[in-house]
Chains A and B, each alone.
Chain A
Amino acid sequence: MNSFVAVFKRELKSYFTTPIAYVFLVVFLFFSGYLTFKDGFFEMRQADMGVFFMNIPLLFVFLVPATSMRLWAEERRIGSIELLLTLPITVTQAVLGKFFSAWLFLVIALALTFPMVITVCFLGDPDVSLIITGYLGSVLLAGGFLSIGCFFSIVSKNQVISFVLSVVTCAVLVFAGMPTTLNYLSAFLPAGLVSAIGNFSFQVHFESIQKGMLEFKDISYFILMIVGWIVAGTYILDERKAY
């Protein structure tokens, strides 16, 4: 446990000693505000954060891989991975430490969008439980994307390749739920498989939580996604540490 905490702390601290965290925060916070107002939040006169959360998957598709790409690729590039893995910690502890520190960083980023909550509460009388589930969905979505980013960061030594692969995978899993994608797939795949692909989409489950229904199928989707990708990543790292 101590080793996990050590990795966790070291990783979190490293975010704020490099400019990447600040760049990420500034870009994320600016665009989350910009897109919300651009999509007519004020004109719709509806005191909820639906418009704000609607843009979260789109922002995260690019920004989460940007935070996760350096998690392992950087260690491999500069060779510090060897040092890290010779320390008295297991691979799982190292992976989880890094993952949770990155996740906490994303939660901090989401927490910094608090002016939006204040705005909505100032303008009207929002359904607070919907705001809470919206944030819960966003945190889970961040975790899901992060686990994918973490996996590709382990797979590739090159940060750019890791970034691109993560973005593509996340985007595919978001857009799988869009009608246009399913339509394209239905041209050459059987209907059952198309609907199964729809079920694998981040978008469908994110929206379901966001509308105010806490369902086992949605929560389990995110947990299984996170666990699955992390297990796969840990497995690769464990096999590869000798190289």
Chain B
Amino acid sequence: MSKTIQMVIGVILVLVIMFSSISVCQDIGKSLKLDVTEQRLYTLSDGTRAILAKLRQPVAVKLYYAETAALKGPDQIRFFNNYYQYVKSLLEEYVSSANGMIDFQVIDPRPYSESEAKALQYGLSKFSITEEESFFFGLVVQTQFGVEKVIPFFSPDRQSFLEYDISYLIDTAITRQKTKIGIMSSLPVMGDDLSGYMAQMMRMQGQQPEPSWTIVNQLKKQYEIKAVSTEVDEIEDVDILLVIHPKELPEKTLFAIDQFVLKGGRTIVCVDPHCYADPPDQKAAMLSGAAPAQNSDLNRLFKTWGVEMPANTFAGDRSLALKATLMPNQRPEKLIGFLDLTSQCFNPDSVITAELNQVRLLFAGVLQETGDYQKEEGVGNIERRTLLSTTNKGNSWSVSSSYELLVPDPSQLMKKFVDGNNPVVMGSLITGKFKSSFPDGILIDAVKGESPEETEKPEVEKKNITGLTEATEECVVAIFTDVDFISDLVAYQDTFLGKIVIGDNSTLLLNTIDDLRGSSELISIRSRGSYKRPFTVVDAIEQKAERETSAEEDKINAEIAGFQDELNSIISSAKEGEEEIIGSSILQKKKDIELKIHKAQRELRRVKMKRREQIESLGNVLRNLNMLMTPGIILIIAIVLGIRRSARKRHYISHASDS
């Protein structure tokens, strides 16, 4: 054998060994990995581990990804390939944590195949790539009891909730669905629940039966709804309790709610320091002489949960305040109590609020933490997660009594508000093993004697009833300090086609219910950490410029208002017959004002342009720094060294020739 052939064979052998070892290493070292990301993007949370530990029967998890079809698609689909790799590696983590209880399969549905038919049958989303090929990217979870749960399509937008979504699927597949919602309210949210005949009778008597709130109708479509009286001894046969505007509830009802929560019943509480959907009874107010109460609270229970909502105190934020008119014949003005929450006000790590964009609140209260809740007597180990808050510039403001809000003047209310430096909380999710607010039970009136009918005047005595003093299961309570946000007043709008939803108000409540339906392990799963790492410097420049702009804008608006006042005063002080003179002076003033506005607007544009230029020039500086600085320095060094070297060479040559 010639030496060359021997060499070629040798090299081929080495390369074959190399590629084979690579292949072997791809399989054997699968579990040897280290997640070094700051947010542990590839490490399962304790909540998921707890859910996986609950698995008693094997669960089939089928990941559908049209890999072959994706290869034939445009290169943009590569993005999905990366995401698919991430989903797959996360699911492999599930498999390795599930003690063999997960049967994981990756299926590549080919056109016209059995697996494609199955995928469509499960309800996975199908996207056509070419005439024949379709793209699938979804998940199916099946239990041995025939329960089937599906994620139709893995949208990259929900990447940060990927773990939640997968765990939700497994959790809801193995546990009973909680769907019965009990609604307890001091307001007629359920409407007059009348039969058709009774309703007709009412109409014949000239009365209109009160319709139920639109949000309740919306809930009825998805869940079984049950009214719970505000005077109740025990709350039973309900999975989620929705308490809306609880006004002066009797102690026994508070006790019933307390016990319901301690037994692990999920509860959503909407309280309000001033509820617009609770119109004051003018007659009663006139008779009693007191201001009609439009407020509700549950502070008796809140304190045990480590929070409090002070009376007559409201959340405010200048940047979120909406223009509104509360009285007829009023010009719309910024109302500090009417907040239009934007994405920065929602907790991005909570599945309830992460995808909300706009929620409107009307005179929302302030949810304060009460002392060191963990150590305080009577309060168990509690965790609170903020759901809704104002921006950093928010603050609380208060009125001395509810009288001040009877005929509210937006500009007067605005004067009560001072910019703050911390977000004000208006919604929280509280979890933990709570203690009872009634550790000694409550005293109730009980009729003495077995048959009260026998005696004319039944004897009444106080009877102590007790219940749980501490939670047996993980408690979960969601609190919102506004009621109006789910009322027809704020959450919906009347149109020819019926009610339409405004913003994400109803979504907020629906999301909360959806989250509370799951197990407590599921609720503990947070978002997988965001990949987002914003340019804080650029944001700061933008914010600073925005602040400057808003100050400028306020100044201009104030100027305009001042001129208009001046104008009005001239008109009102004018006497008849002097219109002409006044007319010309008004005209002159008008011209002046217009000129001033024009000038101010130009100034505004200049500021905005300055802001953009500032950011752009920062970008250019950084670009040049990265592109030119080090190469430039190296080039200079190279030139200097080159010159020195050639000089030395010349010196050496001349030296050599001399000798």
Judge whether A182 and B39 touch: CB under 8 Å: no
Chain A neighbourhood of B637, CB < 8 A: 22
Cross-chain contact of B533 among A19, A47, A178, A199 (Cβ < 8 A): A47
Would you list which residues of chain B between 81 and 96 have a CB under 8 Å from chain A? 81-82, 85-86, 89
Given A25-B634, A179-B75, A220-B29, also A115-B625 (CB < 8 A) = yes
Query: Which residue on A lies nearest to B627, using beta carbons?
Result: A33
Instruction: Map CB proximity to A onto B1-41 as digits: 1 under 8 Å, 0 otherwise.
Output: 00100110011001101110111011001101111111101
Cross-chain contact of B34 among A112, A126, A213 (Cβ < 8 A): A213
Judge whether B39 and A200 touch: CB under 8 Å: no
Chain B neighbourhood of A92, CB < 8 A: none
Cross-chain contact of B7 among A37, A180, A199, A240 (Cβ < 8 A): A240
Which of the listed residues B25, B34, B626, B641 has the most CB atoms from chain A within 10 Å of its own CB? B626
Cross-chain contact of B18 among A180, A183, A224 (Cβ < 8 A): A224
Judge whether B630 and A112 touch: CB under 8 Å: yes
Question: Would you give the shortest CB distance from A66 to chain B, in whole angstroms?
Answer: 16
Instruction: Map CB proximity to A onto B281-314 as digits: 1 under 8 Å, 0 otherwise.
Output: 0000000000000000000000000000000000
Judge whether B36 and A216 touch: CB under 8 Å: no
Chain B neighbourhood of A221, CB < 8 A: 22, 25-26
Judge whether B38 and A128 touch: CB under 8 Å: yes
B446 within 8 A of A: no
Would you list which residues of chain A between 92 and 125 have a CB under 8 Å from chain B? 112-113, 115-116, 119, 122-125
Chain A neighbourhood of B71, CB < 8 A: 179-180, 182-183, 186
Interface size on B, as a range, is 35 or more
Judge whether A235 and B14 touch: CB under 8 Å: yes
Would you list which residues of chain B between 61 and 109 have a CB under 8 Å from chain A? 68, 70-73, 75, 77-78, 81-82, 85-86, 89
Judge whether A30 and B41 touch: CB under 8 Å: no
Question: Would you give the shortest CB distance from A198 to chain B, in whole angstroms?
Answer: 10
B534 within 8 A of A: yes
B187 within 8 A of A: no
Cα-based distance from A124 to B38 in the complex (angstroms)? 15
Interface size on A, as a range, is 35 or more
Which of B170-178, B434-442, B501-509, B535-543 forms contacts with chain A? B535-543
Cα-based distance from A228 to B17 in the complex (angstroms)? 8
A74 within 8 A of B: no
Cα-based distance from A27 to B634 in the complex (angstroms)? 11
Instruction: Map CB proximity to B onto A199-218 as digits: 1 under 8 Å, 0 otherwise.
Output: 11000000110011111110
Cα-based distance from A176 to B30 in the complex (angstroms)? 22
Chain B neighbourhood of A228, CB < 8 A: 14-15, 17-19, 21
Judge whether B72 and A183 touch: CB under 8 Å: yes
Chain B neighbourhood of A116, CB < 8 A: 626
Cross-chain contact of A45 among B22, B32, B538, B626 (Cβ < 8 A): B538
Given A37-B626, A199-B22, also A239-B10 (CB < 8 A) = yes
Query: Which residue on B lies nearest to A24, using beta carbons?
Result: B634
B120 within 8 A of A: no
Question: Would you give the shortest CB distance from A124 to chain B, in whole angstroms?
Answer: 5
Chain B neighbourhood of A180, CB < 8 A: 71, 75
5 cross-chain pairs, A with B, having the tightest CB-CB distances, nearest first: A228-B18, A216-B29, A216-B32, A33-B627, A212-B37
Residues of B within 8 A of A (CB): 3, 6-7, 10-11, 14-15, 17-19, 21-23, 25-26, 29-30, 32-39, 41-42, 68, 70-73, 75, 77-78, 81-82, 85-86, 89, 531-538, 619, 622-623, 625-631, 634-635, 637-638, 641-642, 645
Residues of A within 8 A of B (CB): 16-17, 19, 22, 25-27, 29-30, 32-34, 36-37, 42, 45-48, 112-113, 115-116, 119, 122-130, 132-133, 178-180, 182-183, 186, 191, 196, 199-200, 207-208, 211-217, 220-221, 224-225, 227-229, 231-232, 235-236, 239-240
Contact sample, A vs B, 5 pairs, CB 8 Å cutoff? A33-B623, A45-B534, A112-B634, A186-B71, A213-B34
